């Protein structure tokens, strides 16, 4: 049996690498009890914000067996999506909307799942075993499982770090009822480094290895359903979908290489705010067809673009902002009010405010008007 498992593992390594995966790791399909305990502490402090689905699936997340009792082995595969430049350069392009590196190309769920299903099917045929595949869409704690399998360690920014790919890794997992010998876990190599904690624009880390999602720009621009809280708007800068700061400054990225999967390659330049402000829902869906950016939906995306517009200092965008003061959704109107307050002289803002306030039916937007006028006193 050991010889068969060894032969199967060798085949798995060769086939996965040939299919474009960066590395292959194996562990038994269990997680330490501390993983579930830490999740409960996270939820008890409401650090998950609007992500109620985390609480809804908390018990299932404790162990892979909660989803599939027959799971014996977890095969964790990594995919490198390393950029060809320093993503920090993009946040200084204030006339453009910065999209997180992972979302600049095709949706990784679709790209990886296709490869993963093909590999899992071949594995099942070769081993006569049952398999299930996962790519960040099920209540499976993939990062702790990946660390246990030796793919890397969860850094102080809570993401996986690899000694060969830095922080630029996607994960895919195959659960199987077949036996494969487990790899050794990877140890933590963060040491005394705190670069990821110190760089965070919104101070989202409660402590090393502990994230308050409610303060995280990735959460605020992707998951959060309401208005962007005022205290974070300036810190968001031109980030319209996600944030890479804590990943980009990781010293282990010096070992990272550029992604070899062409589908992850994004545009050479980020999209102009002037163009994004003019997208209606249909144009938004077309512009970001096949991209993870569509996950935010047009309304929240436009909300984010207006925050970036307010931070741009570009008064040429004022006419485009004015259009959104009459938008049907209060989240867009509210952010248009704030963006306008950052771009126009106070005398002009006061002159136009009365007409809009008189017709405003949403309390949150009315408060937004009151706040920007108060701030200007």
pLDDT score, position 374: 85
Q: Which residues of 49-82 are buried (b: 16+ CB within 10 A; e: fewer)?
A: beeeebeebbeebbbbeebbeebbbbbbbbbbbb
Instruction: Report yes or no: 281 and 296 within 8 Å, Cβ to Cβ.
Output: no
d(CA 323, CA 358): 17
**How many angstroms separate the Cα of 256 from the Cα of each of 82, 144, 165, 290?**
6, 21, 4, 26
Ranges of each domain in the chain = 1-266, 271-377
Active-site residue set: 136
DSSP sequence for 267-309: -SSPPBHHHHTT--HHHHHHHTTTSGGGGGHHHHHHHHHHHHH
Q: Does the pLDDT of residue 217 top 60, yes or no?
A: yes
- How far is Cα 45 from Cα 245, in angstroms, rounded to an integer? 25
| Pairwise pLDDT comparison (259 vs 171), residue with the higher score | 171
| Residue 347, helix vs strand vs coil | helix
Nearest CA to 356 among 326, 314, 328, 329? 326
Residue-wise pLDDT for 315-333, tens only, equals: 999 999 999 999 999 999 9
Q: What is the pLDDT of residues 34-55, one digit of tens each?
A: 999 999 999 999 999 999 999 9
- Mean pLDDT, rounded, for 237-259: 94
* pLDDT (tens digit per residue) in 64-80: 999 899 999 999 999 99
| Bridge partners, residue 77, by sequence | 24, 172
Percent of the chain with pLDDT over 90: 87
Residue 36 confidence (pLDDT): 93
Pick the more confident residue, 4 or 306: 306
Those residues with Cβ within 8 angstroms of residue 320's Cβ, 6 or more apart along the chain or in another chain? 274, 277, 278, 309
Helix (H) or strand (E) holding 175: strand 169-176
pLDDT at 6: 82
Q: How high does pLDDT run on average in the chain? A: 94
Could you tell me how many residues make up the chain? 377
Phi then psi for residue 18, to 5 deg, are -65, -30
- Residue 124 pLDDT more than 80? yes
Decide if pLDDT at 376 tops 90: no
Which of the residue ranges 137-146, 194-203, 303-312 would you say has the lowest mean pLDDT? Answer: 137-146
Residue 1: pLDDT above 60?
no
- Could you report the per-residue pLDDT of 224-239, keeping only the tens digit for each? 999 999 999 999 999 9
At residue 137 the predicted structure's pLDDT band, cuts being 50, 70 and 90, is confident
- Residue 7, pLDDT score: 87
Q: How confident is the model at residue 162 (pLDDT cuts 50, 70, 90)?
A: very high
Report how far apart, in Å, the C-alpha atoms of 211 and of each of 324, 336, 368 are.
Answer: 33, 29, 28
């Amino acid at each position: 049996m050991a010889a068969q498992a060894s032969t199967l593992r060798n085949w798995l390594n060769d086939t996965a690498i040939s299919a474009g995966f960066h590395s292959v790791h194996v562990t038994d399909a269990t997680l330490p009890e501390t993983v579930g305990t830490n999740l409960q502490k996270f939820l008890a402090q409401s650090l998950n914000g609007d992500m109620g689905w985390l609480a809804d699936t908390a018990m299932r997340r404790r162990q892979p067996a909660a989803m599939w009792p027959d799971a014996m082995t977890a095969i964790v595969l990594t995919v490198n999506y390393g950029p060809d430049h320093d993503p920090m350069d993009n946040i200084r392009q204030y006339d453009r909307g910065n999209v997180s590196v992972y979302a600049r190309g095709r949706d990784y769920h679709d790209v990886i799942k296709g490869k993963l299903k093909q590999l899992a099917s071949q594995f099942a045929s070769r081993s006569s075993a049952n398999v299930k595949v996962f790519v960040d869409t099920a209540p499976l704690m993939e990062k702790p499982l990946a660390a246990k399998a030796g793919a890397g360690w969860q850094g102080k920014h809570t993401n996986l770090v690899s000694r060969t790919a830095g922080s630029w890794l996607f994960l895919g997992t195959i659960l199987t009822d077949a036996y494969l010998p487990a790899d050794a876990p990877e140890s933590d190599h963060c040491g005394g480094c705190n670069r990821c904690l110190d760089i965070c624009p919104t101070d989202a880390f409660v402590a090393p290895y502990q994230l308050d999602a409610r303060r995280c720009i990735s959460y605020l621009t992707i998951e959060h359903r309401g208005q962007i809280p005022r205290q974070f708007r300036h810190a968001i800068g031109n980030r319209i979908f996600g944030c890479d700061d804590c990943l980009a400054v990781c010293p282990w990225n010096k070992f990272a290489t550029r992604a070899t999967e062409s589908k992850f390659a994004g545009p050479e330049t980020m999209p102009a705010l002037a163009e994004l402000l003019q997208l209606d829902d249909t144009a938004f869906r077309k512009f970001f067809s096949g991209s993870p950016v569509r996950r935010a939906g047009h309304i929240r995306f436009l909300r984010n673009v207006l925050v970036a517009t307010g931070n741009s200092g570009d008064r040429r965008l004022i006419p485009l902002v004015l259009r959104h003061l009459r938008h049907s959704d209060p989240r867009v109107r509210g952010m248009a009010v704030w963006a306008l307050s950052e771009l126009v002289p106070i005398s002009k803002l006061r002159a136009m405010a009365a007409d809009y306030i008189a017709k405003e039916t949403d309390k949150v937007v009315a408060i937004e008007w009151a706040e920007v006028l108060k701030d200007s006193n």
